[in-house]
Chains A and B, each alone.
Chain A
Amino acid sequence: MRYGMVIDTRRCVGCMDCVVACKTENNVPEGYCRDWITETTTGEFPTLRHEIRTERCNHCAHPPCVHCCPTGASHVHERGGVVLVTPEECIGCKACLAACPYDARFVHPDGYASKCTFCIHRVEQGLEPACVSVCPTRCMHFGDLDDPQSEVSRLLAANRAHSLLPEAGTQPSIYYIN
């Protein structure tokens, strides 16, 4: 089992509902965010292309943040390959922040590294991550990438999708349909 997300950028309007839902669900401190909106414009006028994406930790299959952690605080959860941090084991050395090519982590005001958890506490209860559950355009889809019958696998099979910085070799678990 490998949890992942497929995000349809054709539907995302950058409303930031996902950001607010995450902050509320996970008590993310003021001034910080675990997920965010990125807008990319490519091409030359007049053939410009604009993409709006909701981004977060990519829960990589080869997570450099886990490999560099000296205490084992950063680890891969036994269910679904979700990358998590145990605050009580983190010393705040910030190596994981430097190791993440997506800049998805930050230091919580209490001193430990923090990031998206795919709302594993909700997923284990059979619920969707908070960001997915509130998306008004239903552009976000969550499920098991290893299950060919899952919604995310079917979306990936039927659409052209890309991941972020595939050249970094981290094998992200989040894909963007464009």
Chain B
Amino acid sequence: MTETVIHRSNPGIDPHFHVWGWEVPIYLFLGGLVAGLMVIAGARLLLMRPNQRQAMVCCTIGPLAGLALLSLGMLALFLDLEHKLYVWRLYLTFEITSPMSWGSWILLAVYPALLANALVHLPETLPSVARRIPILTTISDFMLARPRIIILTGLANVLLGIGLGIYTGILLGALGARPLWNSAVLGPLFLFSGLSSAAAFLHGILVVSMPDDERPAFADFLISTVTGWTKARPLDTRLAPALAQADNSFLTIEFALIGLFFIGHLTSTAVHQQAIGLLLNGPYAAVFWVFVVGLGILLPLILQHFELLHRIRHTLAPALLVLGGGLALRFIIVAAGQASHWSSLASH
């Protein structure tokens, strides 16, 4: 028997360690989603044939949405900082051992890469915007006339996307004092969760872009809101099955990585076994298995499988489930990680 009484009451530390609230999971989720959008956009840019309209949703709308989502994520991170006026200090140094320092510099490179990817096909996707700002067409023509720039833009998006996606997991994985986070699998897990979220996000956009008689009625409002002011060209919805298939592949890999995450902890030290117990049969088990694994991975896998078999129509449901599952994964991992601790089995 070991009973420990600590005469300390520092806010955020006692009685339970909890210093990161909703802001960090939101940032990690949006960062992962943008990472996925970058990888898909970059890969699409590298692999597509010239004048392929199917590229619009991946190469233009995805990166444009990515710019907005990343800014939202950065805002959440900024709100989490306790010493906000000193945020510029991040960019006066590069700390090689700090994942957060790597992330802050990667994020600086992500913005221009996303913008470049969006600009390549922006005039054909958003002709009304291009007419108002002629320089966009000039830049697009300049890039399209130079295959090397297209390849560099695609490669930059793929590589930075992978880096950003892995970083969101390593950020937690590097904090060894919280045994639940102390796993190298967390980087790839968050990357593939981000990829599945991105594929689901793009799939959802295509679903709401479908002709009136094919799309769900509740999407009408979204369509009129989004396309009303941009006057975008109708998207080619033939890409929807490919995105659903890609999403299913990412979800399958994510499911396998969750398995490895559990195996890694269960075969590690007693402290790590106790930490994974929080998700296996502890206070976070129910929400993890229901919202992350059940509703966030398995159900959309089944729904998209039937969509691909043409048994059911393409709907927004799998996309919303995958996005909800990705968000729940970050919230649960961040909260449960803070609840895990070395000292519970400390030796004296």
Contacts and interface: CB of A to CB of B under 8 A. Distances in A.
Interface stretch (B31-39, B150-158, B172-180): B172-180
Interface in A161-178: 162, 164-169, 178
B95 A69 contact: yes
B95 A111 contact: no
A92 B89 contact: no
Nearest to B178: A98
Interface stretch (A31-39, A122-130, A150-158): A31-39
Contacts of B229: none
Given A42-B348, A70-B101, A98-B338, A91 B86 contact: yes
A159 interface: no
Interface string A18-51: 0100000000000111001111111110000001
B320 interface: no
B212 interface: no
A107 to B, nearest CB: 5
Contacts of B174: 67-68, 99
A53 to B, nearest CB: 9
Interface residues of A, number: 55
B134 interface: no
Contact of A94 (B2, B82, B99): B82
A33 B10 contact: yes
B145 interface: no
B342 A41 contact: no
A147 interface: no
A103 B178 contact: no
B13 A51 contact: no
Interface of A: 14, 16, 19, 31-33, 36-44, 51, 55, 64, 67-73, 87-95, 97-103, 105-107, 110-112, 162, 164-169, 178
Top 6 A-B residue pairs of the complex, sorted by shortest distance between their CB atoms: A92-B82, A92-B83, A36-B8, A111-B83, A70-B100, A101-B177
